[in-house]
Amino acid sequence: MTARFLETVFTPAVLAAQAANGSREAFTHRLGADGPDRIGEPEAAFIGARDSFYLASVTETGWPYMQHRGGPPGFVKILDPATIGFADFRGNRQYISLGNASADDRVALFFMDYARRARLKLLGRMRAVDAGSDPDFVALLSDAGYKARVERAFVISVEAFEWNCSQHITPRFTAADLAPSVHAMRARIAELEAALAERDAAAGGPAG
Ligand SMILES: Cc1cc2nc3c(=O)[nH]c(=O)nc-3n(C[C@H](O)[C@H](O)[C@H](O)COP(=O)(O)O)c2cc1C
């Protein structure tokens, strides 16, 4: 938990809730940030391995709005320790995140690694860079070969991040995570089937 993260989300109402529930003192020694958080090696490696995340923006009417964003692993790029970005693919053309960020640039990103039961929350300020206005920059954030039409890049200035604990995260695995184990199991089954067939053949036919 970084001091910057806590200071950003500890609003007066949150502080009052902590006071009412007896936890306010528990955090006072963790405050005292000297500036926005900077992406380090653990955050860069974690973000760089993700194939999806959840993006929260704020509507002009104050509602939280959450959208799932996906792409090839590593589609969210670390531009420098203070900046990350990703390509915005053409989708349902509602442009809610785009519109929200144009009115209020504050966003939250939620990265999950279910297999390793780890998660990272990141707060930042998001701006759009249109593919027409800066094609080279948008190309830098796009992954060649990925089947999607990139309309723009979203660039996020990092404000703060927080690693969460693993409690209550059920491990889940993608097909790619499981592929090596499934491959090994299939090879072993084939080996056993071959051995059985050989034994049956030696005994003059299948047992039964
Ligand atoms: C044809 C098409 C239809 C889609 N329909 C939906 C939808 O109904 N709901 C949704 O949440 N995402 C949908 N998506 C994915 C979103 O368009 C995509 O995630 C996009 O980034 C939405 O951004 P926004 O929520 O900021 O407007 C669709 C994508 C495509 C290609």
The proportion of the chain whose per-residue pLDDT surpasses 90, expressed as a percent, equals 89
89 Cα to the center of ligand 1, angstroms: 9
How is residue 201 written in tokens? Answer: 């053949």
User: If you search the block for the tokens 């990350």, which residue do you land on?
Assistant: 84
Q: Are 20 and 95 part of one and the same domain?
A: no
- CA 155 – CA 54 distance, rounded (Å): 15
Q: Are 12 and 40 part of one and the same domain?
A: no
Nearest of 125, 107, 128 to residue 54 by alpha carbon: 107
- Please report, to the nearest 10 degrees, the dihedral formed by the alpha carbons of residues 13, 17, 19, 21 taken in order: 180
- Please report, to the nearest 10 degrees, the dihedral formed by the alpha carbons of residues 180, 183, 189, 192 taken in order: -80
Reported as type and span, the H/E element at residue 138 is helix 135-140
Q: Are 18 and 65 part of one and the same domain?
A: no
Decide if 189 is inside a domain.
yes
| Residue 40 belongs to domain with CATH number | 2.30.110.10
Task: Please give the residue range of the domain that contains residue 17.
Answer: 1-35
Our separate counts of H helices and E strands in the chain read 7, 7
CA-nearest residue, atom 12 of ligand 1: 92
Q: Are 3 and 46 part of one and the same domain?
A: no
Is there an atom of ligand 1 within 6 Å of 70 CB? no
- CA 133 – CA 55 distance, rounded (Å): 24
- 165 — pLDDT class (breaks 50, 70, 90): confident
Is there an atom of ligand 1 within 6 Å of 147 CB? no
Is there an atom of ligand 1 within 6 Å of 96 CB? yes
- CA 39 – CA 99 distance, rounded (Å): 27
- 208 — pLDDT class (breaks 50, 70, 90): low
pLDDT of residue 1: 72
Q: Are 52 and 154 part of one and the same domain?
A: yes
Tallying the residues shown for the chain, one arrives at 208
Mean per-residue pLDDT of the chain: 95
Other CB atoms within 10 Å distance of the CB of residue 125: 15
- 190 — pLDDT class (breaks 50, 70, 90): very high
**Tally of domains in the chain:** 3
Decide if 185 is inside a domain.
yes
CA-nearest residue, atom 3 of ligand 1: 92
Is there an atom of ligand 1 within 6 Å of 187 CB? no
Decide if 168 is inside a domain.
no
Q: Are 139 and 73 part of one and the same domain?
A: yes
Give the mean pLDDT of 60-82: 97
Q: Are 84 and 126 part of one and the same domain?
A: yes
CA-nearest residue, atom 16 of ligand 1: 91
Decide if 90 is inside a domain.
yes
Q: Are 111 and 151 part of one and the same domain?
A: yes
99 Cα to the center of ligand 1, angstroms: 14
- 3-state percent helix, strand, coil for the chain, nearest multiple of 5: 35, 30, 35
Q: Are 134 and 48 part of one and the same domain?
A: yes
Q: Are 69 and 89 part of one and the same domain?
A: yes
The proportion of the chain whose per-residue pLDDT surpasses 70, expressed as a percent, equals 99
pLDDT of residue 30: 85
Q: Are 190 and 99 part of one and the same domain?
A: no
